[in-house]
Amino acid sequence: SRPTVIDLAPAEFAHRPLFPVGRLDRDTTGLLLLTDDGETAHRILSPRRHVAKVYEAALDAPLPDHAENAFANGMTLADGSHCRPAGLSVVVPGDKPVVRVVLTEGMYHQIKRMFGVYGAGVNGLHRDAIGGLALDPALAPGQWRELSAEEVSKISS
């Protein structure tokens, strides 16, 4: 079996019952929070709280002009699941655009499924922020650091 993010946590945290706040798919990079505070995790993950998660996606095909409106109005996926309204903006236009997506829910493979409605595949997906907390640009992939109390308040207040 593959190691999980908890298996990769530093040894000094082995005595703490850490768990991820949400998840990232195996092929998704970016911000992932670990905690031993269930109350904070619940505040971040609760569907009632609508905590925004910001992603950047590299697509393999262009999108129709109406895609931004469809995301903003809440779209229906191929299987009939309905998504809450989401933000969509183009960061790099073209035949293989890069887009920014802001979600307030977390359905299984949601971003990939949303773009699949338009026949576009996701070649790369990166989570940039959760709530008001952006990924620290000083951290390289696989690096970690503890959050300050101020940073925790940005995502759980």
pLDDT for 128 equals 97
Nearest CA to 115 out of 73, 50, 64 is that of: 64
List the single range of 29-33, 44-48, 65-69 with lowest mean pLDDT: 44-48
Confidence of residue 48 (pLDDT cuts 50, 70, 90): confident
Average pLDDT over residues 80-98: 97
Average pLDDT over residues 100-124: 95
Q: How far is CA 67 from CA 71, 78, 88, 119, 124, in A?
A: 6, 15, 8, 12, 19
Average pLDDT over residues 41-66: 91
Which range, 41-45, 46-50, 146-150, is most confident? 146-150
pLDDT for 156 equals 66
Average pLDDT over residues 43-71: 92
Residue 28, pLDDT > 70, answer: yes
pLDDT for 30 equals 95
Average pLDDT over residues 147-151: 91
* Secondary structure element (H or E) that encloses residue 127, with its range: strand 122-130
Average pLDDT, the chain: 91
What three-state secondary structure class fits 12? helix
Active site positions, annotated = 25
pLDDT for 44 equals 85
Between CA 45 and CA 68 the distance in angstroms is 25
Average pLDDT over residues 20-34: 90
**pTM of the full structure:** 0.91
